[in-house]
Amino acid sequence: MPHAGWSTPTAFATILTAAAALQFLMVGTVPVRAAEEAGLTLRTAQVPTGNPGNLAPDVAEAMTSALRAAAGGGGGGCPGGVPPKVTVSEASGDLAEKLREAGSPREADLSALAAGEPDGGLLLAHSLAGTGYADGYTGLAKIAAELRYGLFDGESGRMLAQGSSFSQDLDGGECDPAGLSEKASEADRKAAAACFEAALASHYPTLLGDLPAEIVAAATCPSLATGPVVVVAVDGKPKAALRAIYYEDAVLDGMRRVAAGLAASFPKITIVAADGALADRFARVGDDAKTSEADIAAAAATLEGRADYLLVQVPTAGASADQFTGLLQLEAAIAFKLYDVKTKEFVADGTFEASGVSFTGCAADTNGREALDICVRHFVAGTLQTLARKTAERVVFTLMPRSTAK
């Protein structure tokens, strides 16, 4: 893990525990109900992707089946040997309809829907998007695809786990990439889309991998951490700010991976996405934005009793051609301000940047084949995750002496 800009010489990787390597997806400091009680209900729902892929096969049943198999596997993986005990079912018609109406919902919206369930169970929202294309060198049919998910607790309204799985080289079989072109006839486009979607669905178990077992573990294993709660909001005022929920999720994911991997001697922070009301304060663009330090302080006042810190961050990204090679390179940054809700003061700020990062794989033009949108977005999100980790590390080191003092 890169550490550019750190004042401490200690490699941050040394604070990661061995257990964290197995449980890096588990978010949090909110205690999860013990599995040995009456058991847990986990509802699953496939949601709109928020991705530019032209393939989105229905894999709801496949995800549900995979989770049931993982839940019925016995064993555990929880500290103390608590066995998984969870009932998995697809979301009710009403809940599924609300999710579809939400379009590409942000984390706070999903948490609210999970909390609105009668029994306050768990909700797994997952998506799958893909793009069929012709390999730039062989001409063979290929698929680039991404699976994403978030696990929400209805009782606390918190995200318990999130993650993704991406592949750029899935076999498209006998599908015709030319059929996906805008120049193809409507009949050819429908036939090609149906072929590629069937091929993508057949690769779904590969994309899933061990995720079902990890999701079940996150659902059933109690969290023992009790550290400070950090609410994260996106400052949408700068014109260059990335406002898409896809990138917001990438930043949250990167920060949570650091939080989940901390050793016991570090403050075990909980990263929480700003709810709709708070997010809207900072989502405005230009002169209508309310993102000054006074505005941040006013917003933080609404969090008293619910959170310890407010982190307002601005993710940005752009691309330019290298002056010597002509290759397209990514420039990305995350600027942030951290505000203490209780003491009413700013305690940290800074910017982490990545420059000259060459686009690779399907995110780059290859032998006449243009870069794929789904791959470019994934590449940018991966870079933002790296910067988000650095941001989270800075937050942790900032909070260490403050947590000790308190």
101 versus 208: the higher-pLDDT residue is: 208
Range with the lowest mean pLDDT among 39-43, 125-129, 160-164, 363-367? 39-43
Average pLDDT, the chain: 83
Structural domains of the chain, ranges and CATH numbers in brackets:
30-220 (3.30.160), 229-405 (3.40.50)
HEC states along the chain? CCCCCCCCCCCHHHHECHHHHHCCCECCCCCCCCCCCCCEEEEEEECCCCCCCCECCCCHHHHHHHHHHHHCCCCCCCCCCCCCCEEEEECCHHHHHHHHHCCCCCHHHHHHHHHCCCCCCEEEEEEEEEEEEECCCCCCEEEEEEEEEEEEECCCCCEEEEEEEEEEEEECCCCCHHHHCCCCCHHHHHHHHHHHHHHHHHCHHHHHCCHHHHHHHHHHCCCCCCCCEEEEEECCCCCCECCCHHHHHHHHHHHHHHHHCECCCCCCCEEEECCHHHHHHHHCCHHHCCCCHHHHHHHHHCCCCCCCEEEEEEEEEEEEECCCCCCEEEEEEEEEEEEECCCCEEEEEEEEEEEEEECCHHHCCECCECCCHHHHHHHHHHHHHHHHHHHHHHHHHHHHHHHHHC
pLDDT at 24 over 90: no
The CA distance from 230 to 268, in Å, is 10
| Residue 301 CA, distance from chain mean position | 27
The answer to whether 145 and 167 have CB atoms below 8 angstroms apart is: yes
pLDDT at 251 over 50: yes
pLDDT digits (tens, 9 = 90+) for 168-215: 999 999 999 999 888 999 999 999 999 999 999 999 999 999 999 999
The pLDDT assigned to 165 comes to 95
6-10, 240-244, 283-287, 328-332: range with highest mean pLDDT: 328-332
pLDDT digits (tens, 9 = 90+) for 86-97: 889 888 878 878
- C-alpha neighbours within 13 Å on the C-beta side of residue 392: 35
Separation in Å, CA 41 to CA 29, 86, 223: 20, 6, 18
55 versus 263: the higher-pLDDT residue is: 55
pLDDT digits (tens, 9 = 90+) for 323-337: 788 788 999 999 999
Q: Tell me what the mean pLDDT of segment 76-82 comes to.
A: 55
Phi, psi of 27 (to 5 degrees): -85, 0
The CA distance from 24 to 83, in Å, is 19
Sign of CA dihedral 220, 225, 228, 232: negative
pLDDT band at residue 5, thresholds of 50, 70 and 90?
A: very low
